[in-house]
Chain A
Amino acid sequence: MEQLFEAFGIDGKLLLAQLINFGVLFVALTWLLYKPVMKTLDERRAKIAQGVEDAEAASQKLAVADENAAQVVQGAETEAEGIVASARELAGSEKSRIMKEAEARAAQVAADAEARAEETAAQALRDSEKEVARLAILAAEKVLRKS
């Protein structure tokens, strides 16, 4: 065993020095490297989780808002339809009223015109009857004078 240690240069002092070396390195790296890096990783992970949560909440809110908007739009549409229908109805009744009025006036105009035409015709007949009577008298006078 002694010979073996001698051959490989195993020395209690060196062995102890190497143990301490590794111990120092272990402690130093743990405090200087692993802990800060792990802390950063954990913090980032928490931040990302928070971000995902926020995004989920936001999308939920968005869905609710979308629904609200759709409801509002639908309400507006029904209302507009109602307005249009009532306007159309109103317009329809107005139209028929105007038509009736126009028809009535046209009928009156036609009746007036007919009456006036009849009057004129009667007048003309009376006039022509008078003329015929005068002409007949004239003719009779002429005949009488010749004879």
Chain B
Amino acid sequence: MTGVLAQMGSFLHAVFGTAVAYAAEGAPQAEGGAEHASGIHVVLKAEEVFRIFDFPITNSLLMTWVTIALLIGFALFFRSKIAMIPGKLQAGVEMLFEGVLNYMTETLEDEKLARRFFPLIMTIFLFVFLANELAFLPGIGSLLVEHNGTLVPLFRAPAADLNMTLALAIISFVVIEITGVIVLGFFKYAGKYVNFSSPVNFVVGIIELLSNVGRLISFSFRLFGNVFAGEVMIAVALFFVAYLLPVPLMAFEVFVGFIQAVVFAMLTLFFIKLSIMDPHESH
């Protein structure tokens, strides 16, 4: 598994290397991917903007903070406006919440559980959605600051940094596993994966275990890949035809940003459902 990942990494690195080399052709002074004056600026990882006490602050981290600040700001504003007779905004938010909660109740077949997991699913959706859509604002990616002699963008889409998507994937993974253990009990839950009742069941259990751990990778790389690929695609389109051509691509990426937020939240919900299903009922 490690070998495969390393290969994938080097493959991407190679693809990346060519892109960077292409950019470097146009501007000999360019070093690494930090080239903006001409060429396509494509960097696989979030770049460091500045450092606080040896703690690197990357452009994606900054953007994450902006997203969180906006969400919390909205929550504070919204909380003061909540009334028994809802306004348009409140009605909209309530409709979203009720719809999601109803869907979760249907999926989990338990209203109490649905209510318990609602904050997690909703936060994942709101956070990923807003983070993805904010990345299309003017200035994101085009505002530059100098760091260590090179120009780096001040902001970068949070999901275009594997640290962020991996953090979300870890949270999702941990919640799913812990939920399974709490609802089913440790031995019953472990019995889903380590099963000595028959050779076939044993192999099936091991495969399930691997696919469970594999979710960490699929969760994080799906979101990262979609958002990052969108950025690269728009950057390339901008490089060739700066006007009009990127518009449909950006519209599509806005849609992708929404879909990826939905997918991340829904998959977390489905995996929670899978983890709480009784192994004897499900087979």
- A7 beta carbon closer than 8 Å to chain B: yes
A-B contact pairs, 5 of them (CB 8 A): A3-B13, A10-B162, A18-B163, A29-B75, A37-B97
Asked if B126 is an interface residue, CB under 8 A from chain A, the answer is: yes
Residue of B with least CB distance to A12 = B163
Interface residues of A in 19-33 (CB under 8 A from B): 19, 21-26, 28-30, 32-33
Q: How far is the CA of A3 from the CA of B2 in the complex (A)?
A: 11
Contact size class for A?
Answer: 20 to 34
CA distance A22 to B268 in the complex (A): 15
- Majority SS at the chain B contact face: helix
Given A8-B162, A14-B61: A3 in contact with B46 (beta carbons within 8 A):
no
Given contacts A7-B45, A8-B45, contact A28 B13 (CB under 8 A): no
**Also in contact, A29 and B123, with CB within 8 A (given A1-B5, A1-B6):** yes
Whether A38 and B68, one on each chain, are in contact in the complex, defined by CB atoms closer than 8 angstroms, is no
Q: Is the CB–CB distance between B162 and A41 below 8 Å? A: no
Whether the pair B44, A41 counts as a contact (CB closer than 8 A) is no
- Interface residues of A, Cβ cutoff 8 Å to B: 1, 3-4, 7-11, 13-15, 17-19, 21-26, 28-30, 32-34, 36-38, 40-41, 43-44, 47
A-B contact count (CB 8 A): 126
Classify chain B: how many residues form its interface, as a range: 35 or more
The 10 A-B pairs of least Cβ separation, nearest first, read: A9-B45, A18-B167, A4-B9, A32-B75, A14-B163, A33-B75, A8-B162, A30-B119, A19-B167, A18-B164
